[in-house]
Structure 1
């Protein structure tokens, strides 16, 4: 590992840990929260309320944290490139964290909209089976998102150790 100033080392460590933390948070939703919601035996309204609660909490911190980590990685890439050091891992780490947003919009956005509308009464209520299927599908697609910030952590660590 080449000599790095303490601020750059701390910045890289923060980015790596932040990416890993987001990955773990996303994983917890698909591995723990969604199965727990589905196993409650709650009526449709209860299922949607449980999903909406965890969705809202994640919505507040995952995109913001992912963007902050991406900016951190871009700063590291800029500084490393300027010093003639390996920088591509940080740039790719930034991209992998930013991919959460377009993936969500493209593949999960319609499910989010449908369940939010159903839970708020803005749309025809969902049946029990339809709600369970949407929540299950959401959990499965969310599980794919685990690997985006996880790749960011791996790429950041790889770059740090270069």
Structure 2
């Protein structure tokens, strides 16, 4: 196997696994973490402000971890797109073009978690962060916090689908 073929296969592997891992990591917050916080408010009587602080800690960890993973994954897909566009035209010329476009789509979809977070999730994130930072000078109801956490969970589920779609696009490109 030539060096460039090996590099291409490694980049594909990084792209596929990175997109799948990122999607799962993001989805786990909606499936496990936030519901656990909401259960703590309902069943363990933790204060809504403490719930917001718990959410903030989870959010900060994800904000630190996920964008670099998305960038590395998208970079892998972009490298593969760049590589397959250089493949000499053959009987599968349309497949090579399709592969290029699909790998570009995989890169864009995976990296789109960042603009999605900014555009779609910022108001909810900011409201929760503001509640987490309040020093008891604002009375926060459980219903308000549960509503915000519920909205965040829904938006985050949608965000988790972006790298998943990117991974599927990359796999589809590899199968062309």
- Residue deviations 1:62-106 (CA, integer Å, cap 9, x gap): 111111211221111111101143311110001101211111111
After TM superposition, which residue ranges in structure 1, 4 or more long, deviate above 3 angstroms? 122-125
Match of 2:52 in 1: 48
- Residue correspondences, number: 159
The two structures have a TM-score, normalised by structure 2, of 0.85
Matching of residue 28 in structure 1 with residue 32 in structure 2 = no
In 2, Cα distance between equivalents of 1:141 and 1:66: 18
Match of 1:65 in 2: 69
Match of 2:39 in 1: 39
Where structure 1 has 5 or more consecutive residues not aligned to the other structure, the ranges are none
Match of 1:121 in 2: 134
- Residue deviations 1:27-69 (CA, integer Å, cap 9, x gap): 1000111111100132112211121111111111111111121
Which protein is bigger by CA-based radius of gyration?
2
In 2, Cα distance between equivalents of 1:64 and 1:144: 19
Matching of residue 147 in structure 1 with residue 151 in structure 2 = no
Where structure 2 has 5 or more consecutive residues not aligned to the other structure, the ranges are 89-95
In 1, Cα distance between equivalents of 2:142 and 2:16: 41
- Residue deviations 1:92-138 (CA, integer Å, cap 9, x gap): 00110121111111111111111112211288453221111101110
Mapped contact 1:30–1:140 kept (Cα < 8 A): yes
Mapped contact 1:44–1:127 kept (Cα < 8 A): yes
In 2, Cα distance between equivalents of 1:125 and 1:76: 52
In 2, Cα distance between equivalents of 1:25 and 1:47: 21
Mapped contact 1:66–1:98 kept (Cα < 8 A): yes
Query: Bigger shift: 48-57 or 17-26?
Result: 48-57
In 1, Cα distance between equivalents of 2:139 and 2:18: 38
Mapped contact 2:50–2:132 kept (Cα < 8 A): no
Mapped contact 1:63–1:101 kept (Cα < 8 A): yes
